[in-house]
Amino acid sequence: MSPVYIFQFFILFIGVNSFTLLIYMIYYGQLFSSICCDTFEKQYDYIIVGSGTAGSVIAHRLATETNYTFIVLEAGGKGIPLFDIPVLGPLLHGSIYDWRFETVPQENACLAMNNKKCRLPQGKIIGGSSKLNNMIHVRGNTSQYVDWFQAKYGKDFIEQQFQFVEDNILHLNEIKYESEFASAIIEAAIELGYNTIDEFDKGFRKSKVSQNNGKRWSTSDKLDISKHVLTNAFVEKVNIKNNIAYSVNVLISDKKYKINARKGVILAAGTYNTPKILQLSGIGPRDVLEPLNIHIIQDLPVGLNLQDHIATGLDLILFDKTLAVNPMNMLNPFHIFEYFVNGRGPLTTPGCEAIGFLSTGGDDTPDLQFMVMPVGISADRGTHLKTSLGINQTIWDNYFAQSFDKHAATILPIVLHPKSKGKVYINRTGPKTPPCIDPNYLSNLDDVKTLIDGIKLVIKFANTSPMKALGAHVNSIHFPGCEEYLIFSDEYWECYVRHLTLTSYHPVGTCSMGHSASDSVVDTSFRVFGVERLFVADASVLPTLPSGNINAAIAMMASLFFETTIKSTGVGLTSSISLVCKKTDFLNDYVQRICLNEKVSR
């Protein structure tokens, strides 16, 4: 390694580890403060589990449009405004604000990762994964969402929910700073005959991001955290009696409590944690629960139908010169000043400067998304991104580290609707034991073919005149483990994608919505089949993946849940036995608690 790279590594190492130390100081300082100062009631009208995009939208609308009492239980911490600097988002991956999930060893994918396990970052912080993502706002194919709800709601109504969230909860902006790569990609798309687009369609556009004055903006930023959110509150299970959900067990500062819900428990803990909580509560597949001696309340396909946007192609595009977005630029005092004073500059970069949607089948429906990223993982010289992705050392040394003399960038092809499906399941009853996550990546050969077609399109882009003008070329280093194949042949690319398999952090489907309890977990009103007053309203209910980044679709879905299940009915219960009482009606409340034979402890 040359002296220049050693110096860069040293500077970045100090920066990354100083930030990591700061993260721990902030987290434990806030944890100590919450132990001393946080208070909560014994019961509320609604309990929301999880403060991610969905939970925060529901909480915001409950707070502003109803007089219901509610509490949001968040297992993670609060974070600080410093974390909202967009360029720092990747540094939260693998931190104490990340659940640090990973897959079980994969047979057909993740071969370049340690132990054949892909890392699965998920936010453990107020705001959830929207505090770790690329902030890209994509509505996707809105016609698809009509199918999610079995045509119960029309396209116009669904688009109204998008509009409500965009106008009242999110802040959306065009990107504030971009490298030369962004414009070159748009020009290259035009040269290849593709359109520039505004919303979901075949073609390319520069990214629209969820930012406010250059800083990351999440749906949780609209919440009164001190009033409605309890942090470091780890929900263990939902308590159910007579097929009615009435409370949750929650661990707060190593003490167990039960908090009652008069009208409903709303699970919004995410695609991995929500099925785990349901299974621990006795709702899930019989073959998962019986071996663990968990009393089965409802035999439902909880944890099945896991889908994720899979991608590949990190550091596949190399440039002979450094682009305007690079790690050393982030340390420039002028750019730091520009961010804090004007909300502009490279610190506002979302990591993805442009997106595109293309079809490999020749029809009008895109099956690939492309994310244009001006830096690769080799840019930080191995100080953080290698570890957060779990790249094994041999792959790093023999592939990524060999490009230090170039500027690496990525056009990431993403399979929009993969046919490979997996599952999430518990194998122990300990609430703090992570769930087993088996996405079964690339088990369907159609997904492999789509990714290979995507790589071929990336190569076409690299060979356009706008890209050549920047000195772009395809990384010709043979990927370790694929040396037996002719480089750039279909056999080589299949080996490549099976090694360098990447998640886009878009898991859905593990508590799928539908008409029947035989193949679904919730109905089209988000009610868990067979259990009153228990709802799921997060990415886990989506029966299929949206056509693009999922944050916007999740926010829409959460708004629709509130509009149709809470606001329109006024109650969260459809039962012939009325256990719902007005919060001012002490007698009914007292009778309800006696009926459920539950003592609420604190």
CATH number of the domain within which 247 lies: 3.50.50.60
264-293 average pLDDT score? 98
Do both 574 and 513 map to the same domain?
Answer: yes
Between CA 165 and CA 454 the distance in angstroms is 32
Give the 3-state secondary structure percentages of the chain, helix then strand then coil, rounded to 5. 35, 20, 45
Between CA 199 and CA 179 the distance in angstroms is 22
In this model, does residue 292 exceed pLDDT 70?
Answer: yes
77 located within any domain: yes
Structure tokens at 458: 């990336």
pLDDT tens figures, 15-54: 888 999 999 999 999 888 877 777 899 999 999 999 999 9
Between CA 274 and CA 554 the distance in angstroms is 15
Helix (H) or strand (E) run with residue 240 in it: strand 233-241
Do both 252 and 299 map to the same domain?
Answer: yes
CB atoms within 10 A of CB 193: 7
Do both 181 and 314 map to the same domain?
Answer: yes
545 located within any domain: yes
Do both 464 and 317 map to the same domain?
Answer: yes
In this model, does residue 573 exceed pLDDT 50?
Answer: no
Structure tokens at 126: 């107020």
Structure tokens at 119: 């890392």
- The runs of H, that is alpha helices, within 38-141 are 53-65
308-313 average pLDDT score? 97
3 state SS for 95-125 = CCCECCEECCCCCCCCCCEHHHCCEECCECE
In this model, does residue 596 exceed pLDDT 50?
Answer: no
Q: Most distant CA pair in the chain: distance in Å?
A: 78
Between CA 382 and CA 360 the distance in angstroms is 34
Do both 267 and 389 map to the same domain?
Answer: no
Please state the domain count of the chain.
Answer: 2
Do both 200 and 326 map to the same domain?
Answer: yes
pTM above 0.85, yes or no: yes
Nearest alpha-carbon partner for 117 in 107, 133, 106: 106
Do both 155 and 272 map to the same domain?
Answer: yes
Do both 157 and 221 map to the same domain?
Answer: yes
Domain that holds residue 62: 38-98+127-170+217-307+422-428+507-602
In this model, does residue 265 exceed pLDDT 60?
Answer: yes
Do both 230 and 366 map to the same domain?
Answer: no
Measured CA distances, 290 to 275, 277, 302, 421 (Å): 16, 16, 14, 23
What pLDDT score was predicted for residue 67? 94
14 located within any domain: no
Per-residue pLDDT band at 583 (split at 50, 70, 90): very low
24 located within any domain: no
475-500 average pLDDT score? 97
20 located within any domain: no
Between CA 432 and CA 154 the distance in angstroms is 41
Between CA 101 and CA 85 the distance in angstroms is 24
Residue 335 is part of a domain; what is its CATH number? 3.30.410.40
Structure tokens at 417: 């609707």
What pLDDT score was predicted for residue 1? 58
Beta strand pairing call for 43-49 and 70-73? parallel
What pLDDT score was predicted for residue 602? 37
CA 110 vs. chain centroid, Å, equals: 19
438 located within any domain: no
What pLDDT score was predicted for residue 569? 65
What pLDDT score was predicted for residue 372? 96
pLDDT tens figures, 223-262: 998 899 999 999 999 999 999 999 999 999 889 999 999 9
12 located within any domain: no
94-120 average pLDDT score? 97
50-54, 133-137, 377-381, 480-484: range with lowest mean pLDDT:
377-381
What pLDDT score was predicted for residue 312? 97
pLDDT tens figures, 188-232: 999 999 999 888 888 999 999 999 999 999 999 999 988 999 999
Find the distance separating the first CA and the last CA of the chain, reported in whole Å. Answer: 58
**Domain boundary, last residue among 456, 485, 500:** 500
Structure tokens at 129: 């994964």
Nearest alpha-carbon partner for 426 in 234, 277, 238: 277
Q: Which residue do the tokens 């509130």 mark? A: 562
Per-residue pLDDT band at 425 (split at 50, 70, 90): very high
Q: Mean pLDDT score of the chain, rounded to an integer?
A: 91
In this model, does residue 500 exceed pLDDT 70?
Answer: yes
510-514, 525-529, 591-595: range with lowest mean pLDDT:
591-595
CA 193 vs. chain centroid, Å, equals: 32
Beta-strand ranges (E) seen in 303-443 are 310-311, 317-319, 354-358, 368-373, 407-415, 423-425, 436-438
Q: Is 3 exposed, middle or buried (0-12, 13-18, 19+ CB in 10 A)?
A: exposed
Query: What is the identity of the amino acid at 369?
Result: Q
100-123 average pLDDT score? 98
What pLDDT score was predicted for residue 424? 98
Q: Which residue do the tokens 């977990």 mark? A: 521
275-294 average pLDDT score? 98
What pLDDT score was predicted for residue 570? 56
Per-residue pLDDT band at 464 (split at 50, 70, 90): very high
Do both 206 and 298 map to the same domain?
Answer: no
Backbone angles phi, psi at 104, to 5 degrees: -70, 160
What pLDDT score was predicted for residue 223? 92
Counted residue by residue, the chain has a size of: 602
CA angle 92, 559, 269 (to 5 degrees): 40
Between CA 141 and CA 553 the distance in angstroms is 10
What pLDDT score was predicted for residue 247? 98
538: left (phi over 0), alpha (psi -120 to 50) or beta: beta
What pLDDT score was predicted for residue 11? 83
365-387 average pLDDT score? 93
Structure tokens at 491: 């056999």
Do both 56 and 195 map to the same domain?
Answer: no
In this model, does residue 598 exceed pLDDT 50?
Answer: no
409-430 average pLDDT score? 96
53 located within any domain: yes
Per-residue pLDDT band at 582 (split at 50, 70, 90): very low
Nearest alpha-carbon partner for 561 in 25, 37, 57: 57
In this model, does residue 391 exceed pLDDT 70?
Answer: yes
Do both 165 and 185 map to the same domain?
Answer: no
In this model, does residue 432 exceed pLDDT 70?
Answer: yes
Per-residue pLDDT band at 578 (split at 50, 70, 90): very low
**Domain boundary, last residue among 483, 500, 517:** 500
Backbone angles phi, psi at 215, to 5 degrees: -105, 155
